[in-house]
Structure 1
Amino acid sequence: MQLIASTFALAFNHLPRSQFFILGSLTIVVTLAVAFWRPYVCATVVAPPANSVIPLEDYHLSKLIAETNKNLEKPPDIDADLTKNKLNELIAGEAAGVHEYLVSTGDTLISLLTQDGIGIDDITVLAQSYPTLRNLKIGQSLSWRKTADGDLQRLTWNISSRETRTYDRIEDGFQESITNLTGEWRNTIFTGKINGSFVTSARAAGLTRSDVNTVIKALQWQLDFRKLRKGDQFVVLASRETLNNKKNTQSQLLGVRLRTGSKDYYAFRADDGKFYNRDASGLVSGFMRFPTMKRFRVSSNFNPRRLNPITGRITPHRGVDFAVPVGTPVLAVGDGGVLVSKRDIAAGNYVAIRHGCQYMTRYMHLKKLLVKQGQKVKRGDRIALSGNTGRSSGPHLHFEVWINQQAVNPLTTKLPRTEELTGSDRMEYIAQVKKILPQLQLN
């Protein structure tokens, strides 16, 4: 910058005398013009004459500013939908000494009440008499009223939309009263067709996630939901609860009908909460404890940290080994579909069967396979002959049970069992089914 300034100064000093005076005169004229013009410009911006014409752009700007100021005049702490009556009620409540508070992180009964000047003695008596008050949760609301002397008169604890607990002062402490609201249950029919997966199709028909899971669990022993085809139909009768004119998330499945191909599948809820078919027979396929006709000696038990006799390494033994002679018939322990039926290097010839959505069983080291992948089997069906194939130290049958993709001990785990209603329970159930069936109509 200094170099540039020096250059201009040098050039200015070497100008001819005539040009020097001309340039100087122009500089003086421009300076005077700016000095006289500037006050007029500033006055125009700050205070325009009252009778001046406002351009269109300034008019719109003034309108926007006015609207903004109008909105700012609204009290920011009053909701737009708060009616005059509700506002009066709130004002009357504050005047009557009612204080309301929404529980947040770190709040306790003592911290909330002592901040309002309530004595620690009242709070201690209340907390000792009703220990559940120590379990305040975020989102719950409290309201309390004090006497003229500043003592606690009444405390109201809104635990949920259904339950409210009130604590009123009495002579020797406080008395608790509990109010539980009961919603109105209404039956609703949901119908739909398979277009994609059953889950997405059922959700599109209006079923909740809980409803969908209940339908799958109820019918899982009768059909494979993964094999439903586009256009298959379903109809569900569910009871929904309405509380304070608002839909509640509670829902109870009463009956379902699903048609795939030309076959219909049914499930109905009984008073015990379990699902049965139209004849009051349980839908759960019972399991046999052992995969053979008779019980054989256990040569190696279920052990998550067993020393493998072949590899010499500590590896999980996820099943039970039975010392059975080669050629012993191996039976399916429950109804299901064959997932795998093939030969493997380690397992030898083996079969895996899927039972419903949660269960799977595996049978290894077989001599001969009697079923194919995709085949349906019933409890007690012959699926193979035992052998000594794969990594095996001698003739035996390796048997596994998996629940929710987790291996469990086949000898001790709780297995599904077939149930059915009898006597008066069956008669009441059949009568209920007759009422529900006409409502399960497919389009």
Structure 2
Amino acid sequence: MQQIARSVALAFNNLPRPHRVILGSLTVVTLAVAVWRPFVYHPAEMSPVIRQIALDKNDLQALLPEASEPVDQNADEPDDDAVPTDEIDKDVADSPDAHEYTVATGDTLSSALNQYGIDIGDINALVNSDKALGTLQVGQQLNWSLTDDGSLQSLTWEISRRETRTYTRNDNGSFTMQQTLQKGEWRNSVMQGVVQGSFASSARSAGLTSTEISNVIKALQWQMDFRKLRVGDSFSVLMSREMLDGKSAQSELLGVHLRSAGKDYYAFRAEDGKYYDRSGAGLAQGFMRFPTVRQYRVSSNFNPRRLNPVTGRIAPHRGVDFAVPIGTPVLAVGDGEVLMAKNGGAAGNYVALRHGRQYMTRYMHLSKVLVKPGQKVKRGDRIGLSGNTGRSTGPHLHFEVWINNQAVNPLTAKLPRMEGLTGKDRSTYLTQVKSWLPQLGLKAD
């Protein structure tokens, strides 16, 4: 060890003086760092430093999970003209308090009702009142009404033409089931007419009720714009009605044939409750799930019973917010017509599209609108650029889907798809259509 130390000292002495100074300084600094220990301050030995920061309402909003939408105002409540109507809506308007749904493949009671924002607690209470609700079948009909606060008030399950079950809410939140077995006789009848004025008034003169007229319009909504029918156009409707004591208790549209400007349009009901053309091909136009080229992060979910954290009042969020950069192209999710393209105050620059007669979509807080009212658009067309206009606390796109004038969850809603019948279902359907077609001949045939 001494020999090593002697060799190091000799080597150090042989270095030039500037080098010896630098090396010595580095050695001293290294030793100082090695033996140094920081002084630890104990909280008990010092007074805490407190700083109060005052936040105004806008600053507070930016810290909340709902930051993409203001919490002191309901930015999503439609204006009077935000859910537009026309003469057909006025003639055969849907009841705002009643909702209907046809069970589709893969549906459960939970998946069917949850897309409309019905609380899972209400759904569980329904199932507890009748376990049979876990066995929904394709083509069955669900109808329900809500309370003022958005809770489920009652639900009707049309199991078949003969059996209906109604579930009514009790004061404790449970449901009571009442079964009804119809004993009437179902009869098929054909009603024909010629358009004179509006289709609704002409169909009513031919013997159809407002509900039946609405069902005819919905069956042909993807093929025909009923506002553009002309005087002299003709129609034939095959309706199955249940007769009780000489009166129609309920009815079901089986088929319809409409001729306009020399062109024939058909729709027939299949066992799944949907309508197809004469060959079994689907009539509905397919929808995209998202209004952008790619999917963006959801910054605020659909919640029709959202509680305002500031006011404590129910402030429904009738769509979903996507966190998208300003200027992102916004696309039409389906074929349709532009109903609104304007600055809507709280909604900022927004676009409303109508798809057929049952569906509407809305796109809010745009930086730029690229379409005009009355314009026809195709699925995937650019209708605007995302932005931060209106009552918005950050760049995002607010997107809504409405079915039968009822806002639904855009992420889970059952949207139309272009699909047709196959296999045994198609064979059964074509056999039925073959027997119905001769009954739908028009007077001019």
Q: Structure 1-normalised TM-score?
A: 0.51
SS in 2 for 1:433: helix
Q: Which residue of 2 aligns with 1:202?
A: 203
Given that 2:349 and 2:367 are in contact with CA atoms closer than 8 Å, whether structure 1 keeps it comes out as: yes
The Cα shift of 1:337 comes to 1.9
SS in 2 for 1:363: strand
SS in 1 for 2:346: coil
> Which amino acid counterpart does residue 395 of structure 2 have in structure 1?
P
Residue correspondence of structure 1 range 146-295 to structure 2 within 5 A: 183=185, 185=187, 187-240=188-241, 246=246, 248-295=248-295
2:409 is equivalent to residue 409 of structure 1: yes
Q: 1:373 to 1:204 in 2, by over 3 A?
A: same
2:319 is equivalent to residue 319 of structure 1: yes
Given that 2:366 and 2:388 are in contact with CA atoms closer than 8 Å, whether structure 1 keeps it comes out as: yes
> Which amino acid counterpart does residue 388 of structure 1 have in structure 2?
N
Query: Using the alignment, how far apart are the partners of 2:248 and 2:315 within structure 1?
Result: 50
Please list the CA deviations of residues 12-56 of structure 1 after superposition, one character each: whole Å capped at 9, or x if unmatched.
Answer: xxxxxxxxxxxxxxxxxxxxxxxxxxxxxxxxxxxxxxxxxxxxx
Given that 2:235 and 2:257 are in contact with CA atoms closer than 8 Å, whether structure 1 keeps it comes out as: yes
Q: Which one has the bigger helix percentage?
A: 1
Q: 1:291 to 1:182 in 2, by over 3 A?
A: same
> Which amino acid counterpart does residue 359 of structure 2 have in structure 1?
Y
Q: 1:350 to 1:180 in 2, by over 3 A?
A: closer
Q: 1:274 to 1:389 in 2, by over 3 A?
A: same
Residue correspondence of structure 1 range 34-433 to structure 2 within 5 A: 183=185, 185=187, 187-240=188-241, 246=246, 248-303=248-303, 304-305=305-306, 315-433=315-433
The Cα shift of 1:405 comes to 2.9
Query: Using the alignment, how far apart are the partners of 1:416 and 1:398 within structure 2?
Result: 21
The Cα shift of 1:399 comes to 0.8
Query: Using the alignment, how far apart are the partners of 1:227 and 1:234 within structure 2?
Result: 14
Query: Using the alignment, how far apart are the partners of 1:308 and 1:364 within structure 2?
Result: 23
Query: Using the alignment, how far apart are the partners of 1:313 and 1:284 within structure 2?
Result: 39
Q: 1:345 to 1:272 in 2, by over 3 A?
A: closer
Query: Using the alignment, how far apart are the partners of 1:400 and 1:234 within structure 2?
Result: 34
> Which amino acid counterpart does residue 429 of structure 2 have in structure 1?
Y
Given that 2:359 and 2:401 are in contact with CA atoms closer than 8 Å, whether structure 1 keeps it comes out as: yes
Q: 1:403 to 1:431 in 2, by over 3 A?
A: closer
Higher relative contact order (CA 8 A, sep 6+): 2
Query: Using the alignment, how far apart are the partners of 2:342 and 2:185 within structure 1?
Result: 56
The Cα shift of 1:356 comes to 3.0
Query: Using the alignment, how far apart are the partners of 2:391 and 2:249 within structure 1?
Result: 53
Query: Using the alignment, how far apart are the partners of 2:278 and 2:186 within structure 1?
Result: 28
Query: Using the alignment, how far apart are the partners of 2:206 and 2:250 within structure 1?
Result: 17
> Which amino acid counterpart does residue 361 of structure 1 have in structure 2?
T
Query: Using the alignment, how far apart are the partners of 2:388 and 2:337 within structure 1?
Result: 25
Q: 1:193 to 1:412 in 2, by over 3 A?
A: same
Query: Using the alignment, how far apart are the partners of 1:208 and 1:318 within structure 2?
Result: 32
Given that 2:298 and 2:321 are in contact with CA atoms closer than 8 Å, whether structure 1 keeps it comes out as: yes
Q: Give % identity.
A: 69
RMSD, aligned α-carbons: 3.5
Query: Using the alignment, how far apart are the partners of 1:412 and 1:229 within structure 2?
Result: 38
The Cα shift of 1:236 comes to 1.4
Given that 1:362 and 1:401 are in contact with CA atoms closer than 8 Å, whether structure 2 keeps it comes out as: yes
Query: Who wins on radius of gyration, i.e. which is larger?
Result: 1
Please list the CA deviations of residues 187-220 of structure 1 after superposition, one character each: whole Å capped at 9, or x if unmatched.
Answer: 4332112223322211211224443232122122
> Which amino acid counterpart does residue 383 of structure 2 have in structure 1?
I
Q: 1:342 to 1:439 in 2, by over 3 A?
A: same
The Cα shift of 1:416 comes to 3.8
SS in 2 for 1:352: strand
Q: 1:301 to 1:270 in 2, by over 3 A?
A: closer
Given that 1:289 and 1:410 are in contact with CA atoms closer than 8 Å, whether structure 2 keeps it comes out as: yes
Query: Using the alignment, how far apart are the partners of 2:322 and 2:216 within structure 1?
Result: 37
The Cα shift of 1:251 comes to 4.1
> Which amino acid counterpart does residue 323 of structure 2 have in structure 1?
A
Consecutive unaligned residues of structure 2, counting only runs of 5 or more, are 1-161, 164-180
The Cα shift of 1:249 comes to 4.3
Query: Using the alignment, how far apart are the partners of 1:409 and 1:391 within structure 2?
Result: 22
Consecutive unaligned residues of structure 1, counting only runs of 5 or more, are 1-161, 164-178
Please list the CA deviations of residues 104-160 of structure 1 after superposition, one character each: whole Å capped at 9, or x if unmatched.
Answer: xxxxxxxxxxxxxxxxxxxxxxxxxxxxxxxxxxxxxxxxxxxxxxxxxxxxxxxxx
